């Protein structure tokens, strides 16, 4: 029987220099790459399970349903992947990637996918001009090439982050003929500066009846931070509020939330409300990466950014409101910002808006007020350092701070010795970690903190932490695999917390296939 082809968008990911890696390094790289892709798809609001993916050893090949708008792929998926590659990787630097986007007819059978459009997508990613573009800029994390068909669709879409001038035409030689293509890569920012990340952690808070209260920050998969004075009725609010998510696909339903923690503002003090969501966050919404501000240096640049349109708000050409400011001085718990260096609109000073560090992209504070000065409207922010003192769970989300070595450390009977470099088992680790990440205990940051806290201190202290659940669990599993008996210790903790569930028994079966001796 003749198999009819189906129209798909075709996404090819090719790793630069994969031939120089050892087999164990390639397996580890593949696991990390698939983890990054899954998170990027989630941040872009594209269900990973709806997208058939095939491994190519040194890359991946993903089919994306035709109903997903092409501008979302180039304007949301690719920037999300680029942002992930800018984040720390537990095993060293992320590999640099060549990406191609095309769309066309694909025939699928039990052996896989085929068709001329599939061949073209692979030819684009492997083309010498694309390789050369990445070689010419050692600071670039990726380069994107799109077919003529795809280019026409995205540049005529009106998407604010996709401008025709960002691409340059490049003929690509294939086995059939020279194909017109367009490269966007080194020299062209994949994400509009100065924004860092995709702001999938920003929320808008409103009354269930519709009126908007203000913005907020998704701190964990269950809690939202905002200013106390924005919540009508305050601590005693009976009807709760509705929360809209910047990272969720358009048309996603709001989530209801109730006040969990309330710290009314006092002069020079913290103005904080912590809202507890009544349902899981929608696909695409991601908690913020937070960090302490520390002692601010004069002139330090920070970005006040907003991703959700507000009533009567005028946003910039990239669809996001922001302004870059330089810190002026610190007060009693508050940091008052000074000179504005780049502005989109005055609405950026709205209380409850996040403040991100220009260098790391971490959220380091929240706007609580603003003041009018001769040089414009200047936001007043409360740093994460002060927020942690009033809501302790926020402290567990901060990057680990390594204490100074004790000159007279107490004697310890035994410290676990990690496996020698290169002996860590990698086969099946990603699949195992994804199964573990779905356990109820590990679906929340607090649950993951509880599990890590019950491990040996020398293992727990070395787990690289991530706000995204699957990355966080993958780091936990890999760190445990580094130490003899570490994985069994983690599973024993989970068994105590989870009991003898069917899901945990399946994980035990998968564990039997991992080398841990």
* pLDDT tens by residue, 287-325: 888 888 776 655 566 777 665 554 333 333 333 444 555
Residues 437, 364 share a domain: no
Neighbours of 340 (CB within 10 A): 20
Is a pLDDT exceeding 80 seen at residue 196?
Answer: no
Residue of higher predicted confidence among 99 and 137: 99
Residues 48, 152 share a domain: yes
Q: Which of 262, 277, 292 lies at the terminal end of a domain, its last residue?
A: 277
Q: CATH number of the domain that 68 lies in? A: 3.30.70.1230
Structural domain for 217, as ranges: 202-277
Residues 61, 33 share a domain: yes
Residue 448 included in any domain: yes
Residue 289 included in any domain: no
What is the rounded distance in angstroms from the CA atom of residue 432 to the CA atom of residue 508? 9
Residues 160, 46 share a domain: yes
Residue 258 included in any domain: yes
Q: Which of 184, 215, 233 lies at the terminal end of a domain, its last residue?
A: 184
Q: How far is CA 62 from CA 95, 263, 463, in A?
A: 18, 47, 31
Residues 473, 369 share a domain: no
Output phi, psi for 35, to 5 deg: -60, -45
Decide the pairing of beta strands 142-147 and 97-109.
Answer: parallel
Output phi, psi for 379, to 5 deg: -75, 150
Q: CATH number of the domain that 338 lies in? A: 2.40.10
Residue 43 included in any domain: yes
Supply the pLDDT for residue 307.
52
What is the rounded distance in angstroms from the CA atom of residue 254 to the CA atom of residue 278? 11
The Cβ-side half-sphere exposure at 211, using a 13 Å CA radius, reads 5
* pLDDT tens by residue, 20-75: 777 777 777 777 788 888 878 877 778 887 888 887 777 888 999 988 888 889 88
Residue 160 included in any domain: yes
Average pLDDT value over all residues in the chain:
75
DSSP 304: E
Q: CATH number of the domain that 251 lies in? A: 2.40.10.10
Residues 146, 76 share a domain: yes
Supply the pLDDT for residue 202.
83
Residues 328, 452 share a domain: no
Residues 494, 383 share a domain: no
| Residue 509 structure tokens | 């079966």
Instruction: Read off the pLDDT of each residue in 245-260 and give the average, rounded to a whole number.
Output: 79
What is the rounded distance in angstroms from the CA atom of residue 364 to the CA atom of residue 301? 12
Residues 113, 10 share a domain: yes
Q: Quick one: which of 327, 448, 342, 427 has its CA closest to 379?
A: 327
Residue 409 included in any domain: no
| pTM of full prediction above 0.75 | no
Least confident of 12-26, 118-132, 474-488: 12-26
Assign 376 a pLDDT band (cuts: 50, 70, 90): low
Beta carbons of 378 and 325 less than 8 angstroms apart:
yes
Assign 514 a pLDDT band (cuts: 50, 70, 90): low
Q: Which of 133, 156, 184 lies at the terminal end of a domain, its last residue?
A: 184
Decide the pairing of beta strands 354-357 and 363-373.
Answer: antiparallel
The string of DSSP letters for 492-510 reads: HHHHHHH-S-HHHHHHHHH
Instruction: Read off the pLDDT of each residue in 133-160 and give the average, rounded to a whole number.
Output: 81
Residues 13, 94 share a domain: yes
Residues 165, 38 share a domain: yes
Residue 290 included in any domain: no
Give the number of domains in the chain: 4
Is a pLDDT exceeding 50 seen at residue 123?
Answer: yes
Residue 335 included in any domain: yes
* pLDDT tens by residue, 385-423: 888 888 888 877 776 543 333 333 333 333 444 444 333
Residues 75, 30 share a domain: yes
What is the rounded distance in angstroms from the CA atom of residue 339 to the CA atom of residue 335? 13
């Amino acid at each position: 029987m003749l198999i009819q082809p189906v129209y798909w968008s075709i996404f090819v990911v090719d790793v630069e220099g994969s031939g120089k890696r050892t087999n164990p390094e390639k397996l580890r790289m593949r696991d990390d790459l698939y983890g990054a892709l899954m998170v990027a798809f989630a941040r872009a609001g594209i269900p990973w399970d709806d997208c058939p993916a095939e491994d190519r050893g040194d890359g991946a090949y993903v089919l994306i349903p035709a109903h997903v708008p092409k501008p979302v792929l180039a304007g949301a998926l690719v920037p999300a992947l680029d942002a992930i590659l800018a984040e720390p990787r537990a095993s060293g630097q992320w590999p640099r990637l060549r990406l191609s986007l095309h769309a066309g007819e694909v025939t699928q059978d039990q052996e896989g996918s085929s068709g001329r459009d599939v061949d073209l997508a692979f030819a684009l990613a492997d083309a010498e001009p694309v390789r050369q573009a990445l070689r010419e800029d050692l600071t670039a994390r990726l380069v994107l090439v799109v077919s003529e068909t795809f280019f026409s669709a995205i540049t005529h879409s009106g998407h604010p982050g996709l401008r025709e001038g960002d691409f340059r035409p490049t003929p690509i030689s294939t086995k059939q003929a020279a194909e017109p293509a367009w490269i966007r890569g080194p020299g062209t920012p994949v994400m509009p500066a100065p924004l860092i990340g995709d702001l999938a952690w920003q929320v808008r808070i409103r009354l269930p009846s519709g009126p908007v209260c203000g913005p907020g920050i998704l701190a964990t998969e269950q809690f939202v931070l905002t200013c106390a004075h924005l919540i009508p009725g305050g601590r005693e609010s009976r009807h709760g509020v509705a929360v809209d998510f910047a990272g969720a696909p358009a048309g996603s339903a709001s989530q209801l939330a109730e006040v969990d923690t309330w710290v009314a503002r006092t002069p020079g003090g913290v103005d904080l409300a912590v809202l507890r969501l009544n349902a899981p966050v929608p696909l695409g919404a991601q908690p913020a990466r937070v960090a302490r501000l520390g002692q601010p240096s004069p002139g330090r640049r920070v970005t006040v950014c907003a991703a959700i349109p507000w009533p009567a708000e005028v946003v910039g050409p990239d669809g996001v409101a922001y302004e870059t400011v330089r810190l002026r001085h610190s007060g009693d718990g508050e940091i008052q910002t000074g000179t504005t260096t780049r502005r989109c609109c005055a609405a950026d000073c709205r209380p409850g808006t996040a403040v991100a560090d220009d260098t790391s992209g971490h959220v380091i504070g929240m706007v609580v007020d603003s003041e009018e000065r001769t040089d414009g409207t200047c936001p007043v922010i409360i740093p994460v350092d002060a927020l942690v003192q009033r809501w302790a769970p926020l402290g567990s989300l901060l990057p680990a701070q390594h204490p100074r070595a004790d000159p007279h450390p107490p004697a310890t009977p035994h410290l676990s010795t990690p496996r020698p470099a290169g002996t860590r088992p990698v086969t099946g680790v990603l699949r195992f970690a994804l199964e573990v990440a779905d356990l109820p205990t590990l679906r929340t940051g607090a649950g993951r903190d509880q599990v890590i806290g019950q491990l040996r201190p020398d293992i727990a202290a070395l787990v690289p932490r991530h706000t995204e659940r699957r990355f966080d669990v993958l780091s936990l599993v890999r760190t445990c695999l580094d130490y003899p008996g570490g994985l069994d210790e983690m599973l024993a903790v989970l068994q105590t917390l989870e009991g003898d569930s069917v899901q945990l028994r399946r994980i035990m079966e998968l564990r039997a296939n991992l080398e841990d001796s």
